[in-house]
């Protein structure tokens, strides 16, 4: 394993890398965000939800750091009122949209709350009306996005307010949801539920370092990879056909929901990146170390990165 | 699905027949350092780009194997020799492409279709057409031909014939022909073509960063005055 903690200089800062970090990782000088309304370069969270240990980090990619453009990824979570379920979402703003970071932020803020509302009303996770959730989020993005566009380009929309197509061209985001019970049912495995639009993958990591995809791998089976992404606020004609999944999960497995900034270098999860991340994330690392690891240097991977990790079995090993 | 990220291979193939001697060769020798300088200032793009240099006259040689252009203290120089045999260039190019792409893929990279800038200042010896076909023809249905055929961008100066050079544009919809304007200085035109090459390297790299996949040539409006572009294909 050639991954490790290498700094650009012996006495310089130490940052995580996997394999050849490339030049950009050490040479890019990140531009400070010029507008305080832009999302911070990096956000980190950690904590416990009943028996779950959680880490989350969203890190601006090298290309956005270099150009001074905002991080377009976001995450969010919410706990049901009875604290029986944790709801997690990651959102990857589509890079073609100049305001996609706002769409991702909406999904991160409102998505988990919306799912929790259904759970709190007594809907069990397996019956969750996902098409209603996604349709509602799309409507939120269209409404909020129209206001943002008016603010951003008042001249262009002086005569006609922005239409849905204008908003969808300016901001779009993936959304991958995970619902995880906070306590295991007596004597059994936890049942996790997922639903997603777009290509932000969810994985489970077993104690032997094996990776198990929960949501489909980008580009798998396709000879020519397409950069076209399914994304909110566009909803498929039949929203009920949006993918969803449910899995039983053992308490010594790690759950990870991520954007493709991490999913792409992970690939089909049997190479160097998979090995190093498994080593790092078998047990919960300290939160700031986790954020650094999410931003690992690897040649030619310069996209925003976001990972929310859940360790159902709780905290770090004693000692 | 690759694990090592994407790579965009670029090759420059330079005619080093005797007619290139003098200011033209001096200018051609400025291209490699200029590419290295441009990539040195753009680490994000540099991590995605590989660059190689071949020359040809009666035979063809690899001057700089496909490389990431970092840490090159001494870049190799071109020197003139012999005549102008396009066929030799196409044969060596095909060999290199075959080996380089296979190696990069084996190393786990997702390799973009290679782009080749082909610079010549004269009419070739006859008989190159079969080697050109072997380099460029590929039938996706049957798998016949050269799967990793390049996007070939011909750049002609001085005595290079427009009609001959136009036949090298491949594939039609993705490439263009760059020619020295009549009356322009050939060394100036080579410098201008180097600008086209560097713009293309940077724009293609940026396109990859932005999640698109594409080989990009600069817009007609950005062309230096000493060359023109032939891209109005009626096909």
The residue of chain A with its CA nearest to that of B48 is A300
What are the angstrom distances between the C-alpha of A106 and each of A99, A318, B178, B220?
11, 38, 48, 41
Interface membership of A153 toward B (CB under 8 Å): no
Range(s) of the domain holding residue B173: 6-230
Q: Is B46 within 8 Å of A24 when comparing Cβ atoms?
A: yes
> Residue ranges of the alpha helices (H) in A176-271?
260-266
Angle between helices B31-40 and B186-209 (to 10 degrees): 30
Q: Is B43 within 8 Å of A23 when comparing Cβ atoms?
A: yes
Domain count, chain B: 1
The residue of chain A with its CA nearest to that of B210 is A95
SS3 A183: coil
Tell me the two tokens of residue B230. Answer: 């032939």
> Which CATH number goes with the domain that contains B189?
3.40.50.410
Please report the sign of the dihedral spanned by the C-alpha atoms of residue A138, residue A144, residue A147, residue A152. Answer: negative
For residue A37, give every residue at least 6 positions away whose Cβ sits within 8 Å of its Cβ, in sequence order, or none: none
Q: Per residue of chain B (235 residues), what is the pLDDT tens digit?
A: 457 788 899 999 999 999 999 999 999 999 998 888 888 888 888 888 999 999 999 999 999 999 988 776 688 999 999 999 999 999 999 999 999 999 999 988 889 999 999 999 999 999 999 999 999 999 999 999 999 999 999 999 998 989 999 999 988 888 989 999 888 898 988 988 888 898 888 888 888 887 776 788 887 777 888 888 887 655 4
| Domain assignment present for B195 | yes
Fold that domain A4-311 belongs to in CATH:
Phosphatase 2c; domain 1 (3.60.40)
What b/e string do you get for B200-219 counting C-beta neighbours within 10 Å, with b at 16 or more? bbbbbbbbbbeeebebbbbe
For residue B37, give every residue at least 6 positions away whose Cβ sits within 8 Å of its Cβ, in sequence order, or none: none
* C-alpha–C-alpha distance, residues B192 and B199, integer Å: 11
pLDDT per residue over A241-254, tens digit each?
889 999 998 888 99
Beta bridge partners of A175: A197
Which residues of chain A have a CB within 8 Å of the CB of B44? 24, 28, 62-63, 66, 302
Q: Per residue of chain A (319 residues), what is the pLDDT tens digit?
A: 445 554 444 455 679 999 989 889 989 999 998 888 889 999 999 999 999 999 999 999 999 999 899 999 999 999 999 999 999 999 999 988 899 999 999 999 999 999 999 999 999 999 999 999 999 999 999 999 999 999 988 899 988 989 999 999 999 999 999 999 998 777 678 899 999 999 999 999 999 999 999 997 665 544 344 445 689 999 888 878 889 999 998 888 999 999 999 999 999 999 999 999 999 999 999 999 999 999 999 998 999 999 999 999 765 554 4
* C-alpha–C-alpha distance, residues A103 and A161, integer Å: 18
Q: Is the ipTM of this complex over 0.90?
A: no
| Domain assignment present for B235 | no
| Domain assignment present for B1 | no
For residue A238, give every residue at least 6 positions away whose Cβ sits within 8 Å of its Cβ, in sequence order, or none: none
What are the angstrom distances between the C-alpha of A129 and each of A88, A96, A139, B55, B122?
16, 30, 16, 64, 70
Q: Is B5 within 8 Å of A300 when comparing Cβ atoms?
A: yes
Task: Please give the biggest Cα pair distance in chain B.
Answer: 50
| pLDDT for position A119 | 98
SS3 A204: strand
Query: Chain A closest CA to B43's CA: distance in Å?
Result: 5
Q: Percent helix, strand and coil across chain A, each rounded to 5? A: 30, 25, 45
Q: Is A24 within 8 Å of B47 when comparing Cβ atoms?
A: yes
The separation between CA A256 and the C-alpha centre of its own chain, rounded to angstroms, equals 9
Q: Domain map of chain A by residue range? A: 4-311
Interface membership of A24 toward B (CB under 8 Å): yes
């Amino acid at each position: 394993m050639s991954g490790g903690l290498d700094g650009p200089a012996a006495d310089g800062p130490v940052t995580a890398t996997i394999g050849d970090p490339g030049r950009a990782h050490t040479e890019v000088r990140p531009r400070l965000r010029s507008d305080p309304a832009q999302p911070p370069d990096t956000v980190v969270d950690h904590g416990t939800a009943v028996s779950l240990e959680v880490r989350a980090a969203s890190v601006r990619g090298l290309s956005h750091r270099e150009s001074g453009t905002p991080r377009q990824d976001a995450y969010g979570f919410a706990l049901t009122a009875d604290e029986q379920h944790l709801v997690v979402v990651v959102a990857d703003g589509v890079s073609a949209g100049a305001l996609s970071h706002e769409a991702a932020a909406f999904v991160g803020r409102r998505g988990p709350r919306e799912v929790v509302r259904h759970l709190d009303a007594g809907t069990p996770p397996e019956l969750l009306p996902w098409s209603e959730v996604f349709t509602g989020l799309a409507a939120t993005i269209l409404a909020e996005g129209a206001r943002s566009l008016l603010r951003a380009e008042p001249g262009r929309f002086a005569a006609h307010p922005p239409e849905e197509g204008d908003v969808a061209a300016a901001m779009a985001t993936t959304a991958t949801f995970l619902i995880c019970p906070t306590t295991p049912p007596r004597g059994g495995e936890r049942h996790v539920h997922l639903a997603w639009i777009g290509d932000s993958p969810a994985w489970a990591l077993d104690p032997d370092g094996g990776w198990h995809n929960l949501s489909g791998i980008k580009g798998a089976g396709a000879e020519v990879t397409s950069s076209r992404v399914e994304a909110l606020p566009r909803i498929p004609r039949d929203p009920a056909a949006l993918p969803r999944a449910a899995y039983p999960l053992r308490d010594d497995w790690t759950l990870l929901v991520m954007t493709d900034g991490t999913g792409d270098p992970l690939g089909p999860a049997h190479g160097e990146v998979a090995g190093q991340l498994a080593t790092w994330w078998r047990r919960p690392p300290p939160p700031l170390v986790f954020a650094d690891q999410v931003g690992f240097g690897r040649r030619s991977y310069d996209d925003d990165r976001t990972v929310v990790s859940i360790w159902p079995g709780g905290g770090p090993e004693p000692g | 699905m690759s694990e090592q990220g994407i790579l965009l291979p670029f090759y420059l193939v330079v005619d080093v027949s005797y007619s290139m001697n003098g200011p033209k060769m001096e200018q051609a020798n400025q291209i490699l350092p200029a590419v290295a300088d441009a990539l040195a200032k753009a680490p994000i793009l540099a991590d995605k780009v590989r660059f190689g240099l071949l020359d040809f006259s009666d035979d063809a040689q690899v001057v700089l194997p496909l490389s990431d252009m970092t840490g090159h203290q001494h870049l190799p120089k071109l020197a003139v020799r012999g005549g102008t045999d396009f066929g030799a260039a196409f044969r060596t190019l095909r060999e290199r492409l075959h080996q380089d792409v296979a190696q990069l893929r084996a190393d786990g990279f997702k390799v973009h279709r290679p782009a080749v800038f082909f610079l010549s200042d004269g009419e070739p010896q006859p008989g190159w057409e079969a080697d050109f076909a072997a380099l460029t023809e590929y039938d996706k249905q049957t798998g016949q031909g050269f799967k990793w055929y390049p996007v070939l961008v011909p750049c002609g100066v001085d005595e290079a014939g427009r009609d001959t050079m136009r036949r090298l544009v491949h594939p039609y919809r993705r490439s263009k022909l760059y020619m020295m304007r009549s009356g322009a200085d050939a060394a100036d035109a080579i410098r201008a073509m180097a600008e086209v090459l560097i713009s293309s390297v940077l724009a293609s790299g940026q396109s990859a960063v932005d999640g698109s996949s594409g080989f990009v040539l600069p817009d007609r409006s950005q062309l230096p005055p000493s060359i023109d572009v032939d891209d109005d294909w009626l096909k």
